[in-house]
C-alpha cells in the first residue's frame, strides 16, 4: 500500500512538522563530525578500509541532505499542498535513513567481521547515541522514527545473533524494548507538538480574525492597561488621530499618544488640555461619553468600558456627519427656512439670553412689523417674487439690527425686533423709529422697483418687567392701531389700547351671541328710477342694536365679523330674510345683498343662495348680489367661477363702490356683471366741479357701451339729481335725496304711497314723496 505520510493532518500543521525536520541543522553537522571521527579512529585501530568507506558515505549523505535543505529553504511554503509537503518529508527521511543505515551496518560489521572490541564499542555507542537524538530531532515524522530505528538497530540485532552466543542474543533481544521506547517517546512528543500546533493554529486564526475585525471596524479603539498604557490599537484609531503606524503605539501612555495626536490636528494648548480632561473624566467613569471638537469641522465621540484588571477599552468614532446633520436640523428648527431669521421659539430664547446678560435694569423695546398689502405682490407678481422680496426685507433688517437688536420672522410677512437697550426711553423709541424708516422704501427685484411700506407697533418697558407673551400682545395692539389709522405708520403702545382691545373682545363675544340668536335686523335702502316714480330694487343692509351700547355701526361690526370668520353666517341670515321679505313685495321690485370676501372663497355661497330662493319662492332675477372690487382682488379666478355659477342660475350680479379699488375698468369686461354701482365719491361736488362730473359721465358712457345697467349711489341733493337726470347718467338712483334706509314695513308704506301717485302729476308727486319721507 502506498505510504500517504501524515495526510490526516491539516496542511499547515503538517507543514510545521516537516519544517521542524529541516530545523536545527547544526545538530546534523555535529552528528556528521562525530560519526566521521568515530569511524576514523576505528579505522586507525583496525586498519579496516570498510570504515573509511563509512566515513565517505556519511560525508556524502550529509552533503546531499545539506543541499536538499537549502532547496527546501528556497521553496515558497505558502504554495505547498499535501503532496508537496509529503515530497519534502520523504526527501528528509531518505537522507536520515541513509545515515542510520550506515551506522547500523558499521555496528553489525564490527560484530560479525571485525570482531575488534574497540570497533564494536565505538560503532554501537555512536549508533545508540544517534538513536537517542531521534526522539527530539525527528519526532515530526513518525515514519522517520520507524525507518531510522529499524535501519539502525536491525544490523546490530543481526550482528548480536550472528555471534551465536546466549548473552549476545540477550543483548539483541533487549534492543527491541529500546526501539519500542524510542518510538513511544517520539510519538508522545509528536502528539504534544500536534496539540500545540493545532492550538497555535487556532490562536493564529482567531488572532487574524480579531485583527481583521479590529482594523476594519469604523471606530477607533485603544485597549489600555491599568496604567493607561496602550495594549492594542486599531488602524482606524491611528487614522482619526493621525498617529501613523499602530505598531509604534504599543506600551505608549495614552496621555502621550493623545498629546501627539491633537498636536497634529492644530489644537492649541488650552484646547488640548480640554480634550485630555474630558477623556480623563470618561476613563474615571465620571461621564458616559465625551464629544470632542478636534477642529471646526471635525468631531470625535469617545466612550469607555472599564475592565476588571483596572484597564479600559476606549472607543471613538468620527461623528462629524452627525453633528452637521444635527446642526442643520437645529438650524431648521430655530430659523425660518425662507428668510433665515430666527423663528418665534428661538427668538424667545435669544431674548431671554440677552436679558440674562444685562448688568443692570434698563429700558427694552419690542417691535412688530407687517408688510402692507403684501398679498397684492403675491397676486400680481407671483409667490416666487413675493418670497424673494421677503428675503430682501429680512436681509435689510438683519443689517439694520446688527448687534443692537435681535430680529426674527414670525410668519409670512410679519417680523419682530427686540432692543436690549441701556439708554433711556426716548433714545430707544427714536432708534426704533429710525429702524422702521430704514426698512421702508424701494427694493429692486427682477427689474422691478417695489416701494415697500411696513406698519409697525412697538412697546417699551423696564427689562425686569419684560414678559414675552405680554409684550407680543401689546405690540400687536399697537400694530392694529397703526393699521386702523394709516398703514405704514409707527405706533407706540399706550394703556388705553389695552382697554380698547378688551372692549373689542367683549364686542366680538356679544356679536357672536347676537348672530347665534338671530338678533340682527335688516334695513332696506331703495333704488329709484331717476324720476323717483318707482322703486326698482332695495339694498338689504345689516343692522345690530346692542342691548347696552345701542346701535352699532355696520362698518364696525362687519369688520369684526370678518376678523372672527362669521361674516358668511351673517350673509346667510341676510340673504334668507331678504329673499323672504322680497317675496312679499310687488313683482317688479328686487332685493340686493352685499357679499364679502369670505363669502366668495368657495362655492358654498351658491348653495346658500339657492336654498334661500327655494325656501322663499323668490324668482332668481329679483335677487341682486353685490361684490366690491376688494372681493375681486382675492383669488380672482375662483371668484369669477363663483359669480359665473350664480349668474347662470339667473341671479343679477352687481359691482359695488365702483372706482374705489384697483384696476377698476379691467373688471367690467372680465367678470360676469349686470349692474355697476358708481360710488358716492364720483357724485360728491359734481354740481360745483365740472371736471368731476365729466369723470362721472365718462364712466357711465363706458359702462353703457359694455351693456351694463347704471346705479348711482350717494345722491343727496336735488341739484345733483337734476344734473344726473339732465344728462341721463343713471338707470337707478340710490341716496338720501329719495330715501334713507328703512324697515320692511316702512318700505311697504312708501311703495303704496308711490303707487297712489298719478303719473300726470309727477313733479308734485316728488314733492309729496319728500314730504312723506320726512315723516319716516
Kindly state the cell numbers that stand for 37.
571521527
Radius of gyration (Cα) for the chain, nearest Å? 57
What cell numbers appear for 588 in the block? Answer: 317688479
Shared-domain flag, residues 536 and 595: yes
Three-state DSSP state, 309? coil
- Grade residue 458 by pLDDT with cuts at 50, 70 and 90: very high
List the one residue out of 203, 156, 195 whose CA is nearest residue 178. Answer: 156
Q: Are 148 and 131 in contact (CB under 8 A)?
A: yes
Characterize 428-466 residue by residue with b for buried, 16 or more Cβ atoms within 10 angstroms of its Cβ, and e for exposed.
Answer: bbebbeebbeebbeebeeeeeebebbbbbbbbbbebeeb
Average pLDDT over residues 506-524: 91
Which domain CATH number covers 249?
3.30.450.20
Asked if residue 440 has pLDDT above 50, the reply is yes
What pLDDT band is residue 3 in, cutting at 50, 70 and 90? very low
Query: Comparing 142 with 660, which gets the higher pLDDT?
Result: 142
- The answer to whether residues 182 and 235 belong to one domain is no
734 falls within a domain: yes
Q: How confident is the model at residue 619 (pLDDT cuts 50, 70, 90)?
A: very high
What share of the chain in percent tops pLDDT 70? 91
The residue whose grid cell reads 544517534 is 130
User: In 663-713, where do the E strands start and end?
Assistant: 675-678, 709-712
Single pTM value for the model: 0.51
- CA distance linking residue 123 with residue 316, whole number of Å: 71
Q: Mean pLDDT: which of 18-27, 262-271, 338-347 is highest?
A: 338-347
The rounded distance, in Å, linking the Cα atoms of 12 and 81 is: 9
Give the integer Cα–Cα distance in Å for 457 and 286.
52
590 inside domain: yes
45 lies in some domain: yes
Listed as own residue / partner, the contacts of 554-558 with beta carbons closer than 8 Å and 24 or more positions apart are: 556/507, 557/507, 557/511, 558/596
The residue that leads in pLDDT, 690 or 142, is: 690
| pLDDT tens digits, 632-642 | 666 677 888 89
Do residues 87 and 155 share a domain? yes
Average pLDDT over residues 294-301: 78
Same domain assignment for residues 467 and 530:
no
Alpha carbons within 13 angstroms on the beta-carbon side of residue 476 total: 9
Confidence (pLDDT) at 774: 38
Burial class (CB in 10 A: 0-12, 13-18, 19+), 210: exposed
Q: Which of 179, 204, 229 is the last residue of a domain?
A: 204
Half-sphere exposure of 22 (CA within 13 A, CB side): 22
pLDDT for the residue numbered 423: 63
How far is it, in rounded angstroms, from Cα 542 to Cα 576? 12
- CA–CA gap between residue 738 and residue 438 (Å, rounded): 52
Q: Is the pLDDT of residue 761 over 70?
A: no
Q: Which residues contact 9 (CB under 8 A, 6 or more apart)?
A: 17, 194
- If asked whether residues 366 and 461 sit together in one domain, one would say yes
**Residue 3 counted as domain residue:** no
Q: Are residues 628 and 696 in the same domain?
A: yes
446 lies in the same domain as 534: no
Q: How confident is the model at residue 769 (pLDDT cuts 50, 70, 90)?
A: very low
Q: What average pLDDT does range 607-615 have in this prediction?
A: 94
Degrees, nearest 5: CA angle 400-406-407: 70
d(CA 416, CA 410): 7
442 and 535 in a single domain? The answer is no
Mean pLDDT of 511-527: 92
pLDDT over 80 at 34, yes or no: yes
Q: Are 258 and 351 in contact (CB under 8 A)?
A: no
Q: Which residues pair with 590 in a beta bridge?
A: 537
Please say if the pLDDT value at position 776 is more than 50.
no
- pLDDT score at 716: 92
**Is residue 575 over pLDDT 90?**
yes
Verify that 520 and 486 share a domain, yes or no.
Answer: no
pLDDT at position 321 is 85
* Residue 437 scores a pLDDT above 70: yes
Average pLDDT of the residues of the chain? 83
Tens of pLDDT along 244-263? 777 777 788 877 777 666 55
What is the CATH number for 354? 3.30.70.270
Instruction: Tell me the residue range of the domain where 370 lies.
Output: 337-493
Q: Return the minimum-mean-pLDDT range out of 195-209, 290-304, 327-341, 447-461.
A: 195-209
In a domain, 171, yes or no: yes
Residues 419, 289 share a domain? no
Residue 80: the pLDDT is: 84
- E strand or H helix at 178: helix 166-216
Q: Which residues fall within 8 angstroms of residue 27, CB to CB, at 6 or more apart?
A: 133, 137
Q: What is residue 621's predicted lDDT score, i.e. its pLDDT?
A: 93
pLDDT reading at 660 higher than 70: no
Total domains in the chain come to: 4
> Whole-angstrom Cα distance, residue 472 to residue 478?
10
776 found inside a domain: no
Amino acid at each position: 500500500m502506498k505510504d500517504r505520510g501524515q495526510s490526516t493532518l491539516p496542511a499547515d500543521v503538517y507543514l510545521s512538522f516537516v519544517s521542524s525536520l529541516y530545523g536545527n541543522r547544526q545538530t546534523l553537522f555535529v552528528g556528521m563530525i562525530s560519526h566521521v571521527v568515530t569511524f576514523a579512529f576505528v579505522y586507525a585501530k583496525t586498519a579496516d578500509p570498510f570504515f573509511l568507506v563509512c566515513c565517505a558515505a556519511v560525508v556524502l549523505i550529509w552533503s546531499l541532505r545539506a543541499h536538499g535543505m537549502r532547496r527546501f529553504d528556497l521553496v515558497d511554503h505558502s504554495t505547498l499542498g499535501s503532496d508537496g509537503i509529503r515530497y519534502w518529508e520523504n526527501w528528509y527521511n531518505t537522507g536520515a535513513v541513509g545515515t542510520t543505515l550506515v551506522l547500523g551496518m558499521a555496528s553489525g560489521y564490527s560484530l560479525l567481521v571485525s570482531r575488534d572490541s574497540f570497533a564494536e564499542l565505538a560503532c554501537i555507542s555512536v549508533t545508540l547515541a544517534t538513536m537517542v537524538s531521534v526522539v527530539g530531532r525527528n519526532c515530526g515524522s513518525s515514519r522517520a522514527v520507524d525507518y531510522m530505528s529499524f535501519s539502525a538497530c536491525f544490523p546490530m540485532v543481526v550482528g548480536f545473533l550472528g555471534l551465536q552466543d546466549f548473552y549476545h542474543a540477550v543483548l539483541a533481544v533487549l534492543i527491541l524494548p529500546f526501539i519500542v521506547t524510542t518510538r513511544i517517546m517520539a510519538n508522545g512528543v509528536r502528539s504534544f507538538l500536534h496539540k500545540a500546533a493545532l492550538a497555535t493554529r487556532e490562536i493564529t486564526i482567531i488572532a487574524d480574525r480579531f485583527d481583521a475585525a479590529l482594523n476594519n471596524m469604523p471606530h477607533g479603539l485603544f485597549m489600555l492597561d491599568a496604567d493607561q498604557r496602550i495594549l492594542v490599537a486599531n488602524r482606524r484609531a491611528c487614522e482619526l488621530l493621525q498617529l501613523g503606524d499602530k505598531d509604534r503605539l504599543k506600551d505608549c501612555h495614552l496621555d502621550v499618544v493623545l498629546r501627539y495626536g491633537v498636536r497634529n490636528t492644530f489644537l492649541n494648548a488650552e484646547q488640548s488640555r480640554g480634550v485630555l480632561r474630558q477623556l480623563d473624566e470618561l476613563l474615571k467613569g465620571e461621564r458616559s461619553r465625551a464629544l470632542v471638537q478636534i477642529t471646526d469641522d471635525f468631531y470625535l465621540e469617545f466612550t469607555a468600558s472599564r475592565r476588571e484588571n483596572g484597564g479600559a477599552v476606549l472607543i471613538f468614532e468620527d461623528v462629524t456627519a452627525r453633528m452637521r446633520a444635527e446642526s442643520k436640523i437645529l438650524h431648521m428648527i430655530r430659523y425660518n427656512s425662507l428668510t433665515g431669521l430666527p423663528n418665534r421659539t428661538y427668538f424667545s430664547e435669544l431674548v431671554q439670553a440677552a436679558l440674562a446678560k444685562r448688568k443692570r435694569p434698563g429700558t427694552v423695546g419690542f417691535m412688530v412689523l407687517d408688510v402692507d398689502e403684501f398679498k397684492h405682490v403675491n397676486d400680481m407678481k407671483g409667490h416666487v417674487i413675493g418670497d424673494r422680496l421677503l428675503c430682501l426685507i429680512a436681509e435689510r433688517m438683519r443689517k439694520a439690527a446688527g448687534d443692537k437688536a435681535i430680529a426674527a420672522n414670525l410668519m409670512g410677512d410679519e417680523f419682530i425686533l427686540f432692543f436690549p437697550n441701556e439708554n433711556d426711553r426716548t433714545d430707544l423709541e427714536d432708534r426704533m423709529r429710525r429702524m422702521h424708516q430704514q426698512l421702508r422704501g424701494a427694493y429692486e427685484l427682477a427689474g422691478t422697483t417695489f416701494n415697500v411700506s411696513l406698519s409697525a407697533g412697538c412697546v417699551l418697558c423696564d427689562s425686569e418687567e419684560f414678559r414675552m407673551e405680554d409684550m407680543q400682545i401689546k405690540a400687536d395692539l399697537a400694530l392694529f392701531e397703526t393699521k386702523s389709522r394709516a398703514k405704514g405708520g409707527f405706533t407706540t403702545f399706550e394703556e388705553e389700547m389695552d382697554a380698547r382691545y378688551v372692549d373689542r373682545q367683549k364686542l366680538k363675544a356679544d356679536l357672536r351671541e347676537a348672530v347665534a340668536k338671530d338678533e340682527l335686523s335688516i334695513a332696506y335702502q331703495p333704488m329709484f328710477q331717476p324720476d323717483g316714480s318707482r322703486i326698482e330694487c332695495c339694498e338689504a343692509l345689516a343692522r345690530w342694536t346692542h342691548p347696552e351700547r345701542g346701535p352699532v355701526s355696520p362698518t364696525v361690526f362687519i369688520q369684526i365679523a370678518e376678523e372672527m370668520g362669521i361674516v358668511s353666517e351673517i350673509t346667510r341670515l341676510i340673504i334668507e330674510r331678504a329673499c323672504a321679505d322680497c317675496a312679499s313685495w310687488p313683482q317688479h321690485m328686487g332685493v340686493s345683498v352685499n357679499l364679502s370676501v369670505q363669502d366668495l372663497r368657495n362655492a358654498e355661497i351658491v348653495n346658500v343662495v339657492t336654498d334661500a330662493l327655494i325656501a322663499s319662492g323668490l324668482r332668481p332675477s329679483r335677487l341682486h348680489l353685490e361684490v366690491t372690487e376688494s372681493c375681486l382682488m382675492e383669488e380672482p379666478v375662483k371668484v369669477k367661477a363663483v359669480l359665473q355659477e350664480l349668474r347662470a342660475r339667473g341671479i343679477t350680479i352687481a359691482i359695488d363702490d365702483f372706482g374705489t379699488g384697483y384696476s377698476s375698468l379691467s373688471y367690467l369686461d372680465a367678470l360676469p356683471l349686470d349692474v355697476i354701482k358708481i360710488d358716492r365719491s364720483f357724485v360728491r361736488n359734481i354740481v360745483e366741479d365740472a371736471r368731476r362730473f365729466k369723470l362721472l359721465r365718462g364712466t357711465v358712457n363706458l359702462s353703457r357701451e359694455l351693456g351694463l345697467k347704471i346705479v348711482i349711489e350717494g345722491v343727496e341733493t336735488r341739484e345733483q339729481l337734476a344734473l344726473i337726470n339732465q344728462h341721463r347718467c343713471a338707470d337707478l338712483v340710490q341716496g338720501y335725496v329719495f330715501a334713507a334706509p328703512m324697515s320692511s314695513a316702512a318700505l311697504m308704506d312708501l311703495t303704496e304711497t308711490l303707487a297712489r301717485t298719478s303719473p300726470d302729476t309727477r313733479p308734485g308727486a316728488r314733492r309729496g314723496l319728500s314730504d312723506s319721507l320726512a315723516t319716516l
